[in-house]
Amino acid sequence: MDEFIALANSVSNRRKSRAGKSLELHLEHLFIEHGLRHFATQAITEGNKKPDFLFPSAGAYHDTEFPVENLRMLAVKTTCKDRWRQILNEADKIHQVHLFTLQEGVSLAQYREMRESGVRLVVPSSLHKKYPEAVRAELMTLGAFIAELTGLYADIP
């Protein structure tokens, strides 16, 4: 029985891993489709951490002359649950990190904890109604995130 449960967990974890990677690839395609050319995937930061996306580049992240306020990090998680905390130390120079998720809502307490930890949720607009009404105005759509990046990096050749 234990072997069966171990096998079932292994299969389930592989499926979840593929779903997460697929979501990352879809986002990468969307960024390119919307004209974003300045980003890095799985770039190495402090302590060999590898955030899903760094904007505008790994070079800019490690450049001491590049303005820190113009750096962005986007983590991608199909669901948040307790795993959202994993992203907190992936890019130490960036004080507010962004987390894209397809999760259909989080509790008000979890949202507050995320916000207090410097995490800004990026959620498809179609899912905003699944979140507590008190936080909906603070959720960022993917379109708004892309628009912010486009504005920040318009002058980069």
Which amino acids are annotated catalytic?
Answer: 61
Q: In the structure encoding, which two tokens stand for residue 137, read together?
A: 């105005």
Owner of token pair 């004080």:
95
At 121, phi and psi to the nearest 5? -80, 135
- Rounded Cα–Cα distance for residues 44 and 50 (Å): 5
Using the Cα atoms of residue 20, residue 26, residue 140 and residue 90 in order, give the sign of their dihedral.
positive
Q: Are strands 97-101 and 72-77 parallel, antiparallel or unpaired?
A: parallel
Helical H segments across 34-123, by residue range: 58-62, 108-116
What CA–CA distances, in Å, run from 23 to 3, 60, 67, 103, 130? 30, 25, 29, 12, 20
What letter represents residue 13's amino acid? Answer: N
